[in-house]
Every structure is written in structure tokens, then in C-alpha cells.
Amino acid sequence: ETGVTQSPTHLIKTRGQQVTLRCSSQSGHNTVSWYQQALGQGPQFIFQYYREEENGRGNFPPRFSGLQFPNYSSELNVNALELDDSALYLCASSLERRNGYTFGSGTRLTVV
Amino acid sequence: GENVEQHPSTLSVQEGDSAVIKCTYSDSASNYFPWYKQELGKGPQLIIDIRSNVGEKKDQRIAVTLNKTAKHFSLHITETQPEDSAVYFCAASLMDSNYQLIWGAGTKLIIKP
């Protein structure tokens, strides 16, 4: 049973650019949630995808968007990057939106 | 909306002693309370969780207690070991809000040899 894998592990982007982060959910999991974790803080919920549809969203602007594919992998897209978007982006998967999420190791995004 | 406060921000204990981390939550409707351990360079790992219909849960050296009236829950680690050193996060979730986890700010636990 494979866990949650995220790519890339590190990324440096310039302010105003766009970025796509990828997540492969744990085998058998059909729910993916994305979180933003700023340095020294707890994760903040961005949104959740369940069976390819957005199933809840946190307090993030529309330039944060996502997709979930038929194999339940997921993408997080961020447009018009701002310096404050620099953070660790975490993907977590679960089965049928149940609790007990399995987290990936995250993508460290730096915006300069 | 829900707000979770976590204390202390840093906790240093002697190896073999016990460690206690406390969290309070604001939304009385929250009904699921997990604890995560995050090691450097890794994602959070679920170590124990408790639901609102249970007051205490134990798993070997780790236990969690929940006081619904006071709206606080605590993580207890006994016989601490060097590998327990990490950042620990509490979280709260309202089942009806798409299982969104609201997290505390984290506690850095340092185990002194």
C-alpha cells in the first residue's frame, strides 16, 4: 500500500507567476484535501475534493483552484503568486471523506 | 467559526518523564479531535484521535482526554523517548463541515537526554 506522494518537493517561483502542485492519493482513497502551512504555524484548510468535485473550501481566494482526476490524484493551482503564498503545501487523502487523513510530505513553495 | 488554541508552544522534558499538551476549541458542535506529529521535513502523521462521545483514549504511551463541558482536550505522552521529539498539532473537526480540520499552532516537544 503506497502512501500519499507529492511533487515537486521544492519549488521557487517569481511573484505573479502561476504554479501547479501534484498529489497522488493513497491507494483506495477517493478524498483529497489540500492545506497551506506557513512556517511555524498549523496547516490551514484550502479545499477538499471528493469523487472529482470540490467538496468544501476554506478562506482562500479564487486564484487557488484545484482538480481531482478519475484515479483520485489531484492538482493544486495557484495563479498570480504573491510573496505570502510562500509555504509548505500539504496534500492529505482519506476514504469517503472520513477522518484519519494520511498526509504527504508536502511541497515547499518559495515565491521571490 | 471554529478556533483552536494550543499550549505550550515549546515543551522541554527529561527523557523518561511525561509530557502534556493542551488545546481548547470554541465551537461546541465540533466532534472529532485528532493529534498529529510532524517531524522535520515530513507531513503530519496521525498519532491518536478521539470523538466527542468518548472521554479518554489510550494507545500504549499516548493518551488523549476530552472535556466537552470545558471544551478542551489534552495529549499525554508517558515515558518519553528521544524519538518523541517533534512538533505536535491538535485539531478539531465538525463532521457537517466537510471534515475540515481546524488546527492549533503546534507544540515543539524537546526530549532532553
For B58-92, what is each residue's pLDDT tens digit? 999 999 999 999 999 999 999 999 999 999 999 99
Asked if the Cβ–Cβ distance from A56 to B44 is below 8 Å, we say no
Beta strands per DSSP E along chain A:
5-7, 10-13, 19-24, 31-37, 44-50, 53-57, 64-68, 74-78, 87-94, 102-103, 107-111
Asked if the Cβ–Cβ distance from B98 to A55 is below 8 Å, we say yes
Whether chain A has a CB inside 8 Å of the CB on B18: the answer is no
Residue pLDDT, tens place only, A4-60: 999 999 999 999 999 999 999 998 889 999 999 999 899 999 999 999 999 889 999
Q: Which residues of B touch A90 (CB under 8 A)?
A: 43-44
Whether chain B has a CB inside 8 Å of the CB on A83: the answer is no
Whether chain B has a CB inside 8 Å of the CB on A98: the answer is yes
